[in-house]
Amino acid sequence: MNTTRLFPRVGLDLYRKPIRDHGRPLTYKEMLALPKDIPARPHNCEVWAVDGWPTEKPLVASWTHRPRMHPPGDLILLAPAALAYTFTSISFSHVNELIMVLFLLYAHVALYLVFDGALTSRNGFKIGWIATAFIYSEVIHWSLEGFYEAAVIAPLILCARFLADKRHLLAIVMFCAAVFIHFRALFFAPWVVLAAVSVLRAKEWTTWTKREWSLVPIGIFLGGAALGVYAILWPILRDLPLENAVLNLHHPVPGKLVGFVLITIVVAAGSLIYFRAWLDLAVLLWMSMLLVTLREAYEWNLLSMLAWLGAPPLNAIANQRYVQITRILFLVFVAIVALREAVVPTWLLQVISRS
């Protein structure tokens, strides 16, 4: 929220300079003037004064030693909270509650599409609802933890639906919207590549209506803004150490990398090859390569990948339920091995203990 407040003031420097460089240390007098719900040294965050901002509403942020490492879509998602905090008397603690409500709202837009897909799925009742339960548990968990990544699931599922219906332009625009929200949408790059190739191969633009042509600048803006920010951040991203649960160059564990590759290629990829699910195979191999080469990987990165479970069948084959089973098993494997995520709903205990 506070980086959203900063953006009109610093512009693209939000992605060029560390967040702390846009503020200054609090004076002793300013520390004393802080509201009770803003500790001078909050857990996992830092507090900085920004000239021109009210003393009682300073810059509170984590990861302040880096620029903002997300695409610009998160600024729009947090804009309602940022506007309320800037122009009303809402307190810091109450605006954080508002942010939680916003995150849950974005999560439930995704969950609506997930449940809708489960109700209309032909993959088998049990399989569809197993996938839905897994998605629901992870989405609610990380949204309650304060992560916005669930917002990227909805445009990714819509991208897959439009791709399945051969509405390739809409699929491309939805993918651009997803990347605009979070860079992890690039896990599904094979989808947009297929959509773009299909548009070019069939020369679909020759039959586009005015309404369809009006979507082109929207897609260009969304995709261009995301890739532009990524280009600005690239020198910093490139210099981050390669440290993830699968491949850590500082503390290498060859067995873990070999095991991950074997499971991916022999089991998951092998089953998709057997069922000739070529697009799912492309997603699996691309996703696996990115997971191995991620500079930093965290448990909540699983959220964007869950769109795969909510996506409709994208291969014209009869054994769709086995493809869905492969998707589920692979993502559970990724969650445990590559992201160190416990897939059991331990968040329920947190809700019960705090109620």
pLDDT digits (tens, 9 = 90+) for 95-147: 999 999 999 999 999 999 999 988 877 655 577 788 898 999 999 999 998 99
pLDDT for res 268: 80
pLDDT tens figures, 307-346: 999 998 888 776 788 888 889 888 888 888 778 777 777 7
**pLDDT bracket for residue 175 (50, 70, 90):** very high
Position 223 pLDDT exceeds 80 = yes
Report CA dihedral (145, 147, 152, 157) to the nearest 10 degrees. -10
The structure tokens listed for 290 are: 């990115």
Rounded Cα gap, residues 284 and 331, in angstroms: 10
Type and span of the H or E element at 254: helix 254-262
Position 252 pLDDT exceeds 80 = no
In this structure, the number of other CB atoms found within 10 A of the CB of residue 24 comes to 14
Q: Do residues 185 and 156 touch, judged by C-beta distance below 8 A?
A: yes
Rounded Cα gap, residues 338 and 340, in angstroms: 6
